[in-house]
Amino acid sequence: MLKIIIVPNPILNQKTEKVKKIDSEVLALIPQMIEACRNAQGIGLAAPQVGRSIRLCIINLEHLGVAPFALINPKITKKSWRKEEMEEGCLSLPGIYGIVRRPKTIKVKALNPEGQESEIEADGLLSRVIQHEVDHLDGILITSKFIRITDGRETKKRKEENL
C-alpha cells in the first residue's frame, strides 16, 4: 500500500512535471493510488501525495456511483464566474478543515490512461475535487486558500450521508 505523505514535506509544495510518456510505471501507479485513496476514505489523491512529482491525480467518487478514474496532465480550461464556498479537508493535512471558495463549474482537459485526450465539464463535488487535486499538481495546498478554519463537521456529515 502506498503511503500518503503529510505536511510538512517539500514535495507537497512543488509544481509537478508533465507526464511525458504513459509508461508501465505510470500505469501501475494509478490503481495503487486508487487503492490508497479508498483505504484512506478520500475522494481524490494527487501523485505528489504519494511521493511522485508528476502531473497525475485520481478521483474516487465511488460512493456517488462514479468509477474511480485518473486524470493525466489535467488542465482546467474554463472556470465559471460563479463561485461557491465549501468545507475541504486533505489527506495530507490530517484533522485540518476549512472553507475554500472556488469556481462552481469547470472544464478540464486531460489524458486518460490510454493516452486519449478528453474534456469534461464538472459541477458540484466533482468540480470541487478536481480543482483541489489540480492545485496539488501546482504545489498548492488548501491552507493557503482557507477563508476560515472549520471543525470538519460538514465533511464528516457528507461522508456519513454519502453525499
Q: Residue 73 or residue 131: which is nearer to Zn ion going by CB?
A: 131
Q: Report the nearest approach of Zn ion to the CB of residue 13 (Å).
A: 13
Size of the site for Zn ion (CB under 5 A): 1
Nearer to Zn ion, 22 or 55 (CB): 55
| Contact assessment for residue 113 and residue 21, using Cβ atoms and an 8 Å cutoff | no
Site for Zn ion contains 90 (CB under 5 A): yes
Query: Does residue 133 carry a catalytic annotation?
Result: yes
Which of 25, 84, 133, 160 is an active site residue? 133
Q: Is 134 in the site for Zn ion (CB under 5 A)?
A: no
72 binds Zn ion (CB under 5 A): no
Nearer to Zn ion, 22 or 50 (CB): 50
**DSSP assignment string, the chain:** -PPPP-SS-GGGGSPPBP-----HHHHHHHHHHHHHHHHTT-SEEEGGGGT--BSEEEE--GGGTPPPEEEEEEEEEEE-S-EEEEEE--TTSTT-EEEEEEES-EEEEEE-TTS-EEEEEE-HHHHHHHHHHHHHHTT--GGGTEEEEE-SHHHHHHHHTT-
> Which residue's beta carbon is nearest to the bound Zn ion?
90
Single out the segment in contact with Zn ion by CB under 5 A; choices: 21-29, 32-40, 82-90, 98-106.
Answer: 82-90
Segment interacting with Zn ion (CB under 5 A) among 53-61, 90-98, 103-111, 113-121: 90-98
Give the Cα separation of 49 and 4 in Å (integer).
Answer: 6
In the complex with Zn ion, which residue's Cβ is closer, 56 or 90? Answer: 90
Catalytic residue set:
133
Residues that bind Zn ion (CB under 5 A): 90
